[in-house]
Amino acid sequence: MRILTGKQFIEEQNETQNKARNDEQLDQLVLDIIDQVRSKGDESLRALTKQYDGVQVDDLVVSAAEFSEARELVSQDFIDALHQAHENIHSFHKNQTEKSWFTNEGNGILLGQKVSPLDSVGIYVPGGKAAYPSTVLMNVIPAKLAGVPTIAISTPPQQDRKINPHVLVAAEVAGVDRVYKVGGAQAIAALAYGTDSVQKVVKIVGPGNAFVACAKKWVFGDVAIDMIAGPSEICIVADDTAIPRFAAADLLSQAEHDEQATALCITTSESFAKSLQAEVQLQMKTLERRSIIEQSIQNQGRIILVDSMAEATDLVNQLAPEHLQLMVEQPFEKMLTIKNAGAIFLGNYSPEALGDYVAGPNHTLPTSGTATFSSPLGVYDFIKRSSIIQYSEQALERVSKDIMTLANAEGLTAHADSIKKRTGE
């Protein structure tokens, strides 16, 4: 894991960004997949699942028998942990619920905002390199709290043609209505446009690989999406109070997601940087997903030496990382200076993995710098708001002149006429 100065890191970042380009080949491949799904429906889903996952699936919808079988395949410890996580996530997200509101001051004017849940949501749950029952909870629970009546999950099948049992049990605990055995760009297309087996939804949420992210980009507008998520990211800000063994473990925990994951540490301490570098190499040797981790650390892992905590803060706000850990003295005070981060973890005993599973806040977070303008997934992503306006005849007369003046200034005389017809002015 290379150690760079802040200036060297910025130069490296700029060079990487200058080399970046749109992957036209991926775009075309994904567009072809979307076209196949729209034209051939279930037939294309089976063919594409065979092509990309190497699995021949006949029934695309998980049956009740498969749910029953899944319950027998997972441990009681897993079920207990799942229920505890569900309780914590539910408790946190319940604070995000919104209510309709109205104002009526007795002057003939009623104004307000009507909050309604989305009609249906499709949640993509990744598969392949790992199973993600936690992602099920993180996406389904806020949708349930918002009142979404129809919630479906789509996730890639295993080689035995079935869905990972931990994912199925999580879906059952969370209250999912349907689970589809479809992954990749074809799953996004099916949820966006519908097939005989897959019901069309109005919004698609959930993380995925490059194919999934690209497909979400192309179906956006026909359906809503949460975000176009990139590879996972962690950034640790550390001073002399940080524990190298802990920081190394946290960096490696994100590096194991995939080879494109980014693990960074910004520190004001050269001695800590060298200790961390040694710890990363030591711990990496014993981890099960070592081959993935090594590529991630070699390609994207960096330790960045800065002169001050103010410089560290500026760099964090520029990077806008998905996960930020403040392993520093007085972390709460330092947190107040952070403007751009998906989730912020305070102190040596608040590891990123805590947020992934049981703390309660959502782990579906903005990546690739989008934390500058985006927020974690929440209940607010599953509702829509309608403005309510009601004026009495007398109330309309009081503002009619202003309306007509503004409408005429814009050259929209029919607007003005719609008022004149009512007031006779």
What pLDDT is attached to residue 22? 61
d(CA 320, CA 116): 31
What pLDDT is attached to residue 19? 52
Give the mean model confidence (pLDDT) for residues 354-378: 96
323 included as an active-site residue: yes
Give the mean model confidence (pLDDT) for residues 386-402: 96
Catalytic residue among 322, 333, 393, 410: 322
What pLDDT is attached to residue 12? 87
Q: What is the pLDDT of residues 197-234, one digit of tens each?
A: 999 999 999 999 899 999 999 999 999 999 998 899 99
Q: What is the pLDDT of residues 57-107, one digit of tens each?
A: 999 999 999 999 999 999 999 999 999 999 999 999 999 999 999 999 889
- In this prediction, residue 18 has a pLDDT band, given cuts at 50, 70 and 90, of low
Under DSSP, is residue 169 helix (H, G, I), strand (E, B) or coil?
A: helix
Tokens of 405: 């003046």
Q: What is the pLDDT of residues 150-175, one digit of tens each?
A: 999 999 999 999 999 999 999 999 99
**C-alpha angle with apex 39: 36 to 41, nearest 5 degrees?**
80
Query: Would you say the CATH fold of 231-372 matches that of 24-225?
Result: yes
Centroid of chain to Cα 204: 11
d(CA 337, CA 416): 49
How many residues make up the chain in this entry?
Answer: 425
Q: Which residues pair with 113 in a beta bridge?
A: 101, 387
Give the mean model confidence (pLDDT) for residues 227-243: 94
8 Å CB contact between 306 and 318: no
Please provide the average confidence, as pLDDT, over all residues in the chain: 95
* Every domain of the chain and the residues it spans: 24-225, 231-372, 392-423
What pLDDT is attached to residue 15? 74
Task: Using alpha carbons, select from 347, 397, 336 the residue that is nearest to residue 247.
Answer: 347
**How far are the Cα atoms of 168, 177, 204 from residue 134, in angstroms, in the given order?**
11, 17, 17
8 Å CB contact between 178 and 152: yes
Contacts of 104 (CB under 8 A, 6+ apart): 110
pTM of this structure: 0.93
For residue 21, pLDDT over 70 is answered with no
Pairing of strands 120-124, 178-180: unpaired
322 included as an active-site residue: yes
d(CA 98, CA 138): 18
Q: What is the pLDDT of residues 125-140, one digit of tens each?
A: 998 767 899 999 999 9
Catalytic residue among 86, 93, 166, 323: 323
Q: Which residues pair with 165 in a beta bridge?
A: none
8 Å CB contact between 319 and 289: no
CATH architecture of the region 231-372: 3-Layer(aba) Sandwich (3.40)
Task: Indicate the CATH number for domain 24-225.
Answer: 3.40.50.1980
